[in-house]
Amino acid sequence: MEPKKVVEAWVEAFSKADADLISSYYSDDAINHQVANPVVSGKDAIHAMFRQEFAVAEMVCIVENIFQDGEWAILGPVYLSEPPLLETIFSSNKAEMMRCSCST
């Protein structure tokens, strides 16, 4: 699957609040870093984070741009809440998320 398609699938899983599906896109050693929260390392921990977050809040990604260059794709900015947060995702052509970073 090309990187842009991986990011599109991630967005769809996020918008469905599907922690099982969204975590399936992460590599076993992936890192999720949201500036206001501690770094979350590893697929299992990322799955638990999404399961917890989806249980307490309804969130939807609104995509403005997905850029692809070779084996990488970048999503940003998207608005997850008010005020808007910038979500950046890097994806490899291995159909796995390598890193997810969020900042305001």
pLDDT value of position 75? 78
Residue 95 phi, psi dihedral angles, 5° rounding? 60, 35
Better-predicted residue by pLDDT, 89 or 26: 26
pLDDT value of position 48? 97
Q: pTM to 2 decimals?
A: 0.75
**What are the helix (H) ranges across the chain?**
3-15, 19-24, 43-56
71-103 confidence digits (pLDDT tens): 888 777 655 555 544 455 555 545 455 445 444
The dihedral over CA atoms of 35, 103, 42, 56, expressed in degrees to the nearest 10, equals 80
